[in-house]
Amino acid sequence: MYADVVARRIENLSNMCDERARMLQDQFNVSTNHVHALAILVSTFHHGKNPSAIHQKTFEDFTARTTFERPLMSGVAYALKVLHSEREQFEQQHGWKIKKMEAGDQSLVHDYNPEKLEPSPVQDEYAPVIFSQETVKHIISIDMMSGKEDHDNILRSRATGRGALTSPFKLLKSNHLGVVLTFAVYKYDLPPNATPEERIHATLGYLGASFDVPSLVDKLLEQLASKQKIVVKLYDTTNHTSPIKMYGSDFSSSGDLQRISNIDFGDPTRKHEMHCRFKYEP
């Protein structure tokens, strides 16, 4: 029966789409947990010890050796909360100036040169990166509050005490769309009902991870059998009337069968969907 064949195709597509959505969600979840653990590591061994037991070299070694724990992250970094009144002392102590993030042409792969970045203009506060994984070393000394997506994410993570995820945007020194996940690091343990003001006051810094969507989703989908059969697209549907495509293989699809599987990346203010179709077979 024709109806039978159609029903089986629908079920088949649904199963494949759900499996992929679930895999991506699970890998994102384990990566998130490990980024959270890194925030606790910095709290314990950098802020909790005098002298600090973490510097760029230890951070680089540790994050390189634990990349397997963060399969969807292209790099992690730690930015410090620096008030304007502390800026001069901070810059003297580190031997470099806090730099401004440049959007547009500076972020193109070819001519990106952190040495040439401008000092950050005067602000109430800054979030200069002091430690980074080797893969994102180019963001050291950059004020992450000078980039809109990073800025909003920093404010939201510290006010809530939860992991915050940005909308998709073009990452520095990459031609790809990505998202950034941020956890705030606090001076002391805060009760779950702490107010945003108490949290902001107790904030010491921000542990962030970048997710280079196209390359890491490709890598994930390649591990699956029957990759050749379906076309997968990933959307940020937080704003339902204007979804943002984060990933889409550029094969043409066939037929009108489409399966939409939901994905939960752990930030309740963001919504994501995976859209799957059968690949066109001539």
Give the residue nearest to ligand WA2 (CB): 208
Binding residue (CB under 6 A) for ligand WA2 from 136, 165, 217, 230: 136
Q: Which is nearer to ligand WA2, 24 or 136 (CB)?
A: 136
Give dist(CA 138, CA 129) in Å, integer. 10
The terminus-to-terminus CA distance of the chain in angstroms comes to: 24
Q: Does 203 bind ligand WA2 (CB under 6 A)?
A: no
Cβ 63 to ligand WA2 shortest distance, Å: 12
Q: Does 274 bind ligand WA2 (CB under 6 A)?
A: no
Binding residue (CB under 6 A) for ligand WA2 from 99, 145, 147, 278: 147
User: In 10 A of CB 124, how many CB atoms?
Assistant: 8
Q: Which is nearer to ligand WA2, 12 or 123 (CB)?
A: 123
Write the DSSP assignment of 134-171 as a string of letters: GGGGGGBTBBGGGSHHHHHHHHHHHHHSS-EEPPPEEP
Q: Does 42 bind ligand WA2 (CB under 6 A)?
A: no
Q: Considering only residues 209-228, where is the footprint of ligand WA2 by CB under 6 A?
A: 210
15: left (phi over 0), alpha (psi -120 to 50) or beta: alpha
Q: Which is nearer to ligand WA2, 16 or 147 (CB)?
A: 147
Give dist(CA 102, CA 237) in Å, integer. 27
Q: Which is nearer to ligand WA2, 43 or 182 (CB)?
A: 182
Which tokens in the block code for residue 192?
Answer: 């779950």
Number of residues that bind ligand WA2 (CB under 6 A): 18
Q: Vertex 209, ends 268 and 73: CA angle to 5°?
A: 95
H-run or E-run covering 33? helix 2-42
Q: Does 80 bind ligand WA2 (CB under 6 A)?
A: no
Which chain residues interact with ligand WA2 by CB under 6 A?
75, 77, 79, 129, 136, 139, 144, 147, 150, 153-154, 171-172, 180, 182, 206, 208, 210
